[in-house]
Amino acid sequence: MAELKERTFIAIKPDGVQRGIIGEIIKRFEMKGFKLVGMKMLQASEDLLMQHYIDLKDRPFFPTLINYMSSGPVVAMVWEGKGVVKTGRVMLGETNPAESKPGTIRGDFCIDVSKNIIHGSDSVESANKEIRGEKLM
């Protein structure tokens, strides 16, 4: 039964919020059969973003990423269900939207890797850390 309670962290980035596609993204997760167990809209502080993206701090795009993610509100969500981490990542599509298949969120809604509208945990461990960091659960 533990796999039925698996949780993932999904965040709609500022461009997704600004474009008004929050409902469409929620609908896709609900239609798949996952349960929304936590959600909040927030303006992420630079400190929170630096913590969240700590593993990318040495990458050349890090300052641009922090600037982009602090440019507007984000919608932070926790989804629950069997295999939600892996399935959620498939639903999001590739990090680079140009490599994402039609039918995925990034494949359907964006074209630029620097504005790829959504974040999803890449493992159960990452999800647990991100959920605690966002204080959603």
Examine the residue annotation and report whether 52 is marked as an active-site residue of this protein. Answer: no
Bridge partners (DSSP) listed for residue 120: 10
Instruction: Kindly tell me if the per-residue pLDDT of 73 is higher than 70.
Output: yes
Domain containing 35 — which CATH number?
3.30.70.141
Structural domain count, the chain:
1
Q: Which of 119, 120, 131, 134 is catalytic?
A: 119
Q: Is the pLDDT of residue 1 over 60?
A: no
Tell whether 116 is in a known binding site.
yes
What is the structure's pLDDT at 55? 86
Domain that holds residue 64: 2-134
128 a known binding residue? Answer: no
How many residues are there in the chain?
137
Q: Pairing between strand 35-42 and 74-80?
A: antiparallel
pLDDT band, residue 134 (cuts 50/70/90) = low
The helix/strand/coil state of 14 is helix
- SS3 at position 111: coil
Model-level pTM greater than 0.85? yes
